[in-house]
Amino acid sequence: MNTLETLLHDDLRSAAGSVDIPVSLNAIVTERDRLVRGDRRSRWVRWALVTVVALLALGGLWWAQGTLWRVPDTAVPNPLQSPAEPLPAPTPEPSASPTSEPTPDTTAGPTASGLPGRTVGVYVHYVAEGPSSLNLVRELRQVPAGTPARGALEALFTAPHDPDYVTLWNPGTRVLGISKHDDVITVDLSREALAFNLGVAGEAMMVDQLVWTLTEAFEATDRVLLRVEGRAFETGHDLYDRPLARADATSSPITVVVDTPVHGSTVASPVRVTGLAAAFEATILWTVTRPDGTTVAEGTAMTDEGMALAPFAFDLPALDPGTYVVAITVDDPSGGVAPAPPSDTKEFTVR
């Protein structure tokens, strides 16, 4: 009978049985109200946390998307060029005048009326990354003859053919309008144009891409007023609220660009190399190598004018049938002290 448990049970009952502790309903209700307020507060804090997390996630998505957009997608085919269409400017004419800059057809102007489906070649400007700086480059693209300026801009937002080139513009950008009054070309772009993260140098190069492409499609001396959905273009470093001209740059954004031979083209020997270069004392250096890197030939050539952007044209020595890479760079006046100047390379096949 007197087990430990029984004794304990009796002891607890006996000791607690004489305890008389009153409780107050008022105190209970007051305490309940305090608890409910605490619930509301913690619920509010929970919602605030959820909101903050959701906003951060959205921001992250926006940022990730913006980053992905800037990756040049060379897998995207050029919508302006049908597969049946050959690469533009396949073979340079050996008889072309070495002093004339190869320019697109002058009907590239906005007033040119082309039949539907007809195309015209326009130089569209892209960017190549050099060892120490960005180099504005250009590529001949076929665009609808009726709307060459719009076509050139739309080509500007797509990937270039040369794998060394990229566009800094968001591929999702749309052209909302292009107009010209006197010498001012006004272009209005969709808000997708604002999705970039390039740094000061990249932003300037991005604007150069557009200014040089549009002034190529109209007149080289025109000025370009860039708008995004009707408002001045703003990069975070600069406000572009006034018309921009090619001449605004203190130095040419193009250091060197090879127009022909076109990357991946098949040409006859002798191969004529043409392009533009801003070279000290007008000297450019050229090298021809096989794809394995062995040098076949090298030499120098002259542009039309030193210290300024000027065309060049010269013939390579006779080459056996096969695939080659030609590299052009400008003379380095510092003798190697300054960072290496940009170069441009093209791979081509001699038939």
Partner 1 sequence: MLDESFTEFVRSSTASLTRTAWLLTGDHALAQDLVQNAYAKTLRAWDRVAGPGALAYARSAVVTGNVDRWRRTRGEVAVGLEFERPSPDRFEDRVADRDRVARMLATLTPTQRRVVVLRYHEDLSEAQTAEALGMTVGAVKSAAHRALAALRSHYPDAAGPARTHPEEGAQR
Interface residues toward partner 1, by CB under 8 A: 1-9, 11-25, 27-32, 34-36, 39
How far is 191 from 177, CA to CA, in rounded Å? 13
Sign of CA dihedral 307, 308, 309, 315: negative
Q: Nearer to partner 1 by C-beta: 39 or 248?
A: 39
> What DSSP character marks residue 185?
E
Beta bridge partners of 326: 288, 346
121, 123, 129, 132 alpha-carbon torsion, rounded to 10°: 150
Work out how close the CB of 47 gets to partner 1 at its nearest, in angstroms, rounded to a whole number: 20
Residues 6+ apart with CB under 8 A from 19: none
Residue 214 buriedness (CB in 10 A; 0-12 / 13-18 / 19+):
buried
Q: Nearer to partner 1 by C-beta: 37 or 242?
A: 37
How far is 164 from 253, CA to CA, in rounded Å? 17
Residues 6+ apart with CB under 8 A from 68: none
Work out how close the CB of 43 gets to partner 1 at its nearest, in angstroms, rounded to a whole number: 13
How far is 156 from 169, CA to CA, in rounded Å? 7
Work out how close the CB of 238 gets to partner 1 at its nearest, in angstroms, rounded to a whole number: 59
Work out how close the CB of 37 gets to partner 1 at its nearest, in angstroms, rounded to a whole number: 11
- Which stretch of DSSP H or E encloses residue 86? none
Cβ neighbours of 227 (radius 10 Å): 17
Q: Nearer to partner 1 by C-beta: 12 or 239?
A: 12
Tell how strand 165-166 and strand 119-129 pair up.
antiparallel
Work out how close the CB of 17 gets to partner 1 at its nearest, in angstroms, rounded to a whole number: 7
Q: Nearer to partner 1 by C-beta: 3 or 250?
A: 3
Q: Nearer to partner 1 by C-beta: 16 or 115?
A: 16
Distances (CA, A) of 68 to 82, 167, 171, 196, 289: 26, 13, 10, 10, 35
Work out how close the CB of 44 gets to partner 1 at its nearest, in angstroms, rounded to a whole number: 17
Q: Nearer to partner 1 by C-beta: 11 or 73?
A: 11
Work out how close the CB of 2 gets to partner 1 at its nearest, in angstroms, rounded to a whole number: 5
Residues 6+ apart with CB under 8 A from 297: 287, 288, 316, 317, 319
Work out how close the CB of 237 gets to partner 1 at its nearest, in angstroms, rounded to a whole number: 56
Q: Nearer to partner 1 by C-beta: 8 or 68?
A: 8
Work out how close the CB of 9 gets to partner 1 at its nearest, in angstroms, rounded to a whole number: 5
